[in-house]
């Protein structure tokens, strides 16, 4: 009998919440898992679907404000499931729109309250400026994080979560403090699309490692493609260096 090495990646709401390359994050996880000798399985969850069993990593992306409105009711129904998985240490990556909805609420600029699912102790307020541009931030856990932000919501973290990183260029969570993103258990949340994982493979590897440990008890890469991984790490580093020099 061959050893089970499958890891199931679930992309949340790809139809409404995939406006800017969020698929790239899924693809990066999928390919890196393959190169580490695991068998990635990618599934999608859209509003109204049955939530699949045995999920190992969850990825959620950004959408337009109108997309958030479309999914909000379905997301509320899903809330207990996602809360349970987050508490259980399931690795999750949520970007932009879904990052906002993983908090307590998103109060729009017009004053409407879109409830979140409260996995992250934070709240988001619609602002009158849109924060758009290249971002460079620094995280103790992951080093430099490069990406691109495009949001009007301003997020304020509560004591129950830590920021993902500190901003060096750009705005991040809001225009008041210099934090970017949020960290809780194995949940990584960020405003950076860009896409986040291609240029920040340390975060991809964190999610993969946590998923493997949660499922199999250990992370045991079988690097069948050392050459691929070496080339990849060189390309990521060069892409990061170039991105870091670009104007806001």
Partner 1 sequence: MSSFSILVGKLVRSASKLRGGGSALPGLVVEKIDPDFIRRTLADLPLGVAVVSGTNGKTTTTKMVVELLESQGLKVFTNRTGSNFTRGVAAALLGEVNLRGHLDADIAVLELDEAHAVHFVKLIQPRYSLLLNVLRDQLDRFGEIDKTTRLLESIARATTETVVLNREDPRVAGIADSLNGQRAVYFGLDASLRSTFPNDDEMRGSLAEALAATQEADVVLERVSETDADFLVDGQVRTTGLKLRGVYNIFNAAAALAFARTIKGKNLDSDALFEALANVEPAFGRGESLTVNGQPLELVLVKNPSGFRLGLKSFAAHGYSTMIAINDNYADGRDMSWLWDVDFESLAEGGVDVVSGVRAYDMALRLKYDDVPVRTIEPDITDGLKRFIKDSPGVPMRIFCTYTAMLAVRRELSKITKVEVVS
Nearer to partner 1, 71 or 86 (CB): 71
End-to-end CA distance of the chain: 53
Smallest distance from the beta carbon of 51 to partner 1, in angstroms? 17
Q: Which is nearer to partner 1, 224 or 246 (CB)?
A: 246
User: Does the CA dihedral 94-145-161-190 come out positive or negative?
Assistant: negative
The maximal CA–CA distance of the chain, rounded, in angstroms, is 59
- Closer residue to partner 1 (CB): 106 or 148: 148
List active site positions.
96, 193
Is 130 known as a binding-site position? yes
- Rounded to a whole number of angstroms, the minimum distance from the CB of residue 171 to partner 1 is 14
Smallest separation (angstroms) from partner 1 to the CB of 1: 29
Q: How far is the CB of 87 from partner 1 (least distance, A)?
A: 29
How far is it, in rounded angstroms, from Cα 78 to Cα 179? 28
DSSP result, 92-136: EEEEHHHHHHTSSEEE-TTS-EEE---SSSEEEEEEEEEEEEEEE
Element (H, E) at 199: helix 196-199
Q: Which of 148, 153, 195, 159 is nearest to 173 (CA)?
A: 153
Pick the closer one to partner 1 by CB: 7 or 119. Answer: 7
What is the contact surface with partner 1 in residues (CB under 8 A)?
Answer: 14-16, 18-25, 27-28, 31, 44, 46, 64-66, 130, 132-134, 148, 150, 152, 193-195, 198-199, 228, 231-232, 235-236, 238-239, 241-243, 246-247
Annotated binding site for substrate: 130
Annotated binding site: 130
């Amino acid at each position: 009998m061959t050893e089970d090495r499958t890891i199931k990646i679930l992309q949340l709401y790809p139809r409404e919440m995939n406006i800017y390359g969020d698929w790239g994050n899924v693809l990066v996880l999928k390919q890196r898992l393959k190169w580490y000798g695991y068998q990635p399985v990618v599934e999608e969850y859209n509003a109204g679907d049955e939530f699949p069993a045995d999920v190992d990593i969850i990825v959620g992306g950004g959408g337009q404000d109108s997309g958030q409105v479309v999914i909000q009711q379905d997301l509320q129904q899903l809330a207990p499931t996602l809360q349970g998985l987050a508490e259980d240490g399931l690795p999750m990556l949520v970007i932009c729109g879904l990052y906002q909805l993983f908090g307590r609420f998103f109060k729009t600029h017009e004053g409407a309250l879109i409830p979140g699912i409260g996995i992250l102790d934070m709240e988001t307020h619609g602002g009158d400026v849109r924060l758009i541009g290249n971002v460079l931030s620094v995280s103790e856990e992951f080093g430099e994080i490069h990406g691109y932000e495009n949001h009007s919501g301003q997020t304020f973290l509560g004591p129950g979560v830590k920021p993902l990183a500190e901003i060096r260029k750009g705005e991040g969570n809001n225009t008041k403090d210099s934090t970017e993103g949020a960290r809780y258990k194995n949940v990584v949340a960020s405003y950076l699309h860009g896409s986040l994982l291609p240029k920040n493979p340390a975060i991809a590897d964190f999610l993969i490692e946590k998923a493997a440990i949660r499922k199999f008890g250990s992370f045991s890469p079988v690097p069948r493609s050392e050459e691929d991984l070496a080339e990849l790490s060189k390309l990521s580093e060069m892409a990061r260096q170039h991105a870091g020099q670009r104007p806001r």
